[in-house]
Amino acid sequence: MQPAVIILAAGQASRMGSVKALLQLPGKGCDSSALRGLVDLYRSVGVEEIVLVSGFHAAAVEAEAAALGVMTVRNPQPDQGMFSSVRAGVEALARRAFSGAFFVQPVDVPLVRPLTLMALLDAAQQDAADAAAAKLVCGHAGQPSVLVPVFEGEEGHPPLVPAVCAARILADDGRDGLRGALRGLPLRHVPVADAMILEDMDTPDDYARLRMMAHDREALSPSEAEELLRLRDVPEKGLRHARAVGAVACCLAEALGHARESAGMAAALDPRLALAGGLLHDICKGQERHETAGGELLQRLCLPVMAHLVRDHRDLTLPAGEPVTERELVYLADKYCHGGSFVPLERRFGQKLEIFAQNAPACAAILGRLERARALENRLAREIHTEPAVLAQKVLERRCGVARGYAA
């Protein structure tokens, strides 16, 4: 299936006071227009058939589209609302005899992540395979579904619309918008770990908020990390450990940030990022070299920040001149957590030494990992002026209401 995207950029933007398609948002290394960011996004997942619908501010928007090598169609009646732009885009695809599915992407929802588009394309591919199997068995297949991304049950953008819906869209009066035109057709929600599908920019305050959020596109919030764990069917035992590690990593990040600020330094830490990293550190548990597999999974989802936090949590060395970051805190937090309960380093590694007591090379490797964990623990203790193990134990006792366990 070769998909397309219709980018809607015909609005007047009266509440914004500026052309939304040209608003600058932080990207990889520099700011770029919302339109350029979306074009780059879709091209990154293999969508080359891109149709931009202009209307109000057509000259400025079309100039940017031309610089990007994007086909443009002008909505002759942009004052008729968004559905008139959808119809203009669908007409343009129909003239090109396009027969695949197409995304409908408002330019003012600019922070959608690649993982959302990949999830929708995967769902469409699975639907097509199911339809082919049904036709082979039964001689016919049902109508393909309109696919709508949802985060925590709330619908967002962009929907992925089968091309067979084009005639219905073109025949509709648009009174109830795109949703009304598609009413009665099969619709399937596709859960995604992407709250950005819900974020649009209609006002200057919205724009300011999205400029801040744009810096986090390559990471996940704690709620998004929880959703990704759910989508990966992580069992309750794994969730218990993940939440414990996340809570400890978050606490250590708060303590270290406070210590740095008290010393007149920049905190340079995000406790929420440490929490999300802890939640995801074992996302591929059960696979061979699960920490590497987890990093590779998150890299494929275009989440390099999360991949960096996860891929080294089994063992790492921090050079003396390098600052402690969320990555090291996730690593150390994992060492303090036995399931959802506290365990000191000596006991954590001592269990491994008992298991491999008859294997000298394995014991040497375990002792090396213990030495590196102790070195980080000691360094962190000097920076925060307290024992990180004590903080970890308190956090886990508060969370779980359990006895001290391994504290002795």
pLDDT at 408 over 90: no
Which pLDDT belongs to residue 141? 66
The tens digit of pLDDT for each residue in 349-390 reads 888 888 998 898 989 988 999 999 999 999 999 999 999 999
Work out the pLDDT band at 140, boundaries 50, 70, 90: low
Distances (CA, A) of 266 to 27, 57, 248, 260: 23, 43, 21, 6
- 159 upstream amide cis, omega within 30 of 0: no
Per-residue DSSP letter, 145: P
Contact 242, 282 (CB under 8 A): yes
Residue-averaged pLDDT of the chain: 93
What is 333-389 written as a DSSP string? HHHTEETTEE--HHHHHHHHHHHTTT-HHHHHHHHHHHHHHHHHHHHHHHHHTS-HH
Q: Is it the case that residue 226 has pLDDT exceeding 50? A: yes
The pLDDT confidence band at residue 134, using thresholds 50, 70 and 90, is confident
Query: 3-class DSSP state for residue 244?
Result: helix
Mean pLDDT of 246-268: 96
* The model's pTM: 0.93
Convert the pLDDT of each residue in 167-212 to its tens digit.
999 999 888 999 999 999 999 999 999 999 999 999 999 999 999 9
Summarize the confidence of residues 133-158 as an average pLDDT. 86
pLDDT tens-digit series, residues 297-340: 999 999 999 999 999 999 999 998 899 999 999 999 999 999 99
Alpha carbons 301 and 242: distance in angstroms, whole number: 20
Q: What percent of the chain has pLDDT over 70?
A: 97
Which tens digit of pLDDT belongs to each residue from 92-124? Answer: 999 999 988 999 999 999 999 999 999 999 999
Q: For residue 211, with 0-12 CB atoms within 10 Å meaning exposed, 13-18 middle and 19 or more buried, which class applies?
A: middle
Instruction: Report pLDDT for 142.
Output: 72
Instruction: Please report the pLDDT score of residue 406 as a whole number.
Output: 41
The share of the chain scoring above pLDDT 90, in percent, equals: 83
SS3 312: coil
Q: How does residue 1 score in pLDDT terms, banded at 50, 70 and 90?
A: low
Question: In angstroms, rounded to a whole number, what is the distance separating the alpha carbons of residues 121 and 310?
Answer: 26
24-26 and 31-33 beta bridge pairing = antiparallel
Model confidence band, residue 403 (pLDDT cutoffs 50, 70, 90) = very low
> Do 217 and 32 contact (CB within 8 A), yes or no?
no
What pLDDT is stored for residue 132 in this prediction?
A: 76
